[in-house]
Each structure stands twice: as structure tokens, then as C-alpha cells.
A = this chain, B = another copy of it.
Amino acid sequence: MPELRKDPIIGRWVIISTERGKRPSEFERARPAPKSGFCPFCPGHEDKTPPEILGYRKDNGAPDTGGWHVRVVPNKYPALKVEGNLDRVGDGVYDRMNGIGAHEVVIESPGHKDSLSTIPIEQFEEILWSYRDRIIDLKKDDRLRYVLIFKNHGEAAGATLEHSHSQIIALPIIPKRVAEELDGAKAYYEYKERCIFCDIIRQEIMQASRVVAENSDFIAITPYAPKSPFEVWILPKQHEANFENCQKHHYENLSVFFSEILKRMDKVLNFPPYNFILHTAPIRNGDLNFYHWHFELMPKLTRVAGFEWGSGFYINPTSPEEAAKFLREAKI
């Protein structure tokens, strides 16, 4: 059983995924992702993944058969397990609990070579709907407190399979970075009685220098204090804490917008590897007036990592104003 452990000093939880246990020799030198001809995510190989949790099919065909355009399946090597109890226990100064949760894979398209920046808008929209549908479903599990949705694109950004996919991890704790955002946003709200993200959007529109793109419902900005070059945040202009509570037309609009941002990034940075993370409110907190869902998108351009991990301190060689200008002016 994987274990969730809490750092007693800074309060960060980590998963010790013992069943993925790696012996030292397995770490020796970062290995290239297996590039064998066989892909378990391709159509026709539906029996090579654990049974599907969700499948969108035009013909309403049976689960784990072909004809799908988006498929959500359990991760074959899950970092967390669905069965069991949390069993929170102390051990002297330490705290741990069982690694209860869900770890799922969203297979974003049947095409092995497809990527988010090139697939049709309708396909992109389906992926957003699958995120939403999974959050709604995972909310029903009382043990869970947060649904983390993210994508690693490209080997350098941590993708181990080439076929385009994102991941969903449902957790019995709130990840530290999200907890910090919630705390910071709440403190601001208590002082100003305004959502800090709404204030940021207003100021960014006024100043314009960090705006990458904008449409009626969404804005993309390079954040004022980015931890990495060309980091981009995509936010809904209208206040909403929970991604899963968007209006239908927002998903339509977001798929067009998100696709455009990825195309701009591909153009300016020559198809970079990247990560994105959906920051949305915890699933047990109801509608929050101080939080505002958004996507954080980070191209993987620099290699330095250990130092930043350890210090929480970042040196960024590109100003967000400059990055926004390049992205804004890209001819796509």
C-alpha cells in the first residue's frame, strides 16, 4: 500500500509509492522513454489498459472497445490505491496515512501522433469535458479532498509514454502549493473583500504588458513573478472557484483559447516540452468567493531543478513582459 507522509517541519505531504519501489541501479542515468512499436493507448489495444472508467464514443459503443475519441482509464502503475481506509496515524513527531486515492490517465485522442496543439478544437473540448466529468464523479468519494489534473508533454517534461495523455490524481489531502494559494487568496479577501485573481485580471488588462491573448471569457497572462521563463496562466475572466462548475459555452470557448496558446508556444519556442496543471478549488469546500480556478502552463526550458526545489527560490532569465510580447506577436 502506498503511504502518504507529512514533513513535520513545513507540513508538505508526499506519496511514498513503495510498489513502484526502485532499486538504486534502476536510477542509474535517466533512461530514454521506451520507444517500442507497441502503444497501449492506441485503438485496438483497449484490453492492454485496466478497464476504462469513462469513454466518449460517437456511436455509444461498449466500454473497452474501439470507436472512442477520449478514454479515461486507471493508471497501470498507480501512485495511490482506491481501496481501503485512510488510517491516519502518528509516529513520534511524524504523521502518515494510507495512500488512498485515484490515479487515472486521460487518453486524449486515438491518434498516436496527435498533440494538443494540433488536434481539432472539438477534440480538445472533449478532453476538457472529460476533466469535468471525472471531477464530478470523484467528488462523490468522501475520503478525497482534492482532484489534481495535470499533463506532462514530452520526455523532458516527464512524459513516459509518447501517446498524448494527461493524468488525474485524486487525493485525501490538499497539495501544498494549492493550500498556499488558498491561504494567500483568503488573506487578501479578508482584507480587501475582493478576489485577488479578479484584481490581477483587472490590472493585467489595464497594463496590457503581460497579456498574451484574450477573448470574451478567458485571458492568458505571463504572471508578474514567474518561476520559470515563458510560464503562462489561463484564467476565466468571470469569477469561478471550481473548474467543474463552468458554463457549457466556457468549455467550448476554452478549447479554442487553450489551443491558440499552445500554438503560440510551439511557434515561439519551437514545440517545447511542457507541463500544465489545473488549479481548481478543493472538492469539499463549496463555492469559494476568494479562489479562482486557472491553468498554469510551464514550458520546460531550463534544466536547473534541485536547487530550486530545495530553496524555493527561483532565478528567471526572461522577464514576463518580454515573454508575453513574443507570445502575443507570434504569427500562428
Interface residues of A (CB under 8 A from B): 3, 5-18, 20-22, 24-25, 27-30, 79, 92-94, 148, 150, 152, 155-158, 169, 171, 175-181, 184-185, 188, 196-197, 199-200, 203, 207, 223-230, 268-270, 272, 274-277, 296, 298-320, 322, 326
Contacts and interface: CB of A to CB of B under 8 A. Distances in A.
Contacts of A275: 305-307, 309-310
A30 B322 CA distance: 20
B300 A225 contact: no
Nearest to A231: B310
A33 to B, nearest CB: 10
20 contacts: A5-B224, A9-B184, A13-B225, A15-B316, A16-B225, A16-B318, A27-B230, A30-B156, A93-B199, A94-B203, A148-B311, A152-B306, A156-B303, A158-B303, A158-B307, A175-B312, A176-B311, A227-B309, A275-B307, A277-B311
Given A21-B322, A24-B326, A225-B12, A175 B93 contact: no
Nearest to A154: B306
Q: Binding site of A, secondary structure by majority: helix, strand, loop or mixed?
A: mixed
Given A10-B180, A21-B322, A326-B24, A307 B93 contact: no
A276 B309 CA distance: 10
Contacts of A16: 225, 316, 318-320
B225 A150 contact: no
B24 A92 contact: no
Nearest to A169: B313
Contact of A269 (B8, B28, B296, B299): B28
Given A9-B185, A27-B299, 11 more contacts: A6-B225, A13-B313, A15-B314, A30-B301, A93-B200, A94-B203, A158-B306, A176-B312, A177-B313, A275-B309, A309-B309
Nearest to A206: B92
Given A12-B227, A94-B224, A21 B307 contact: no
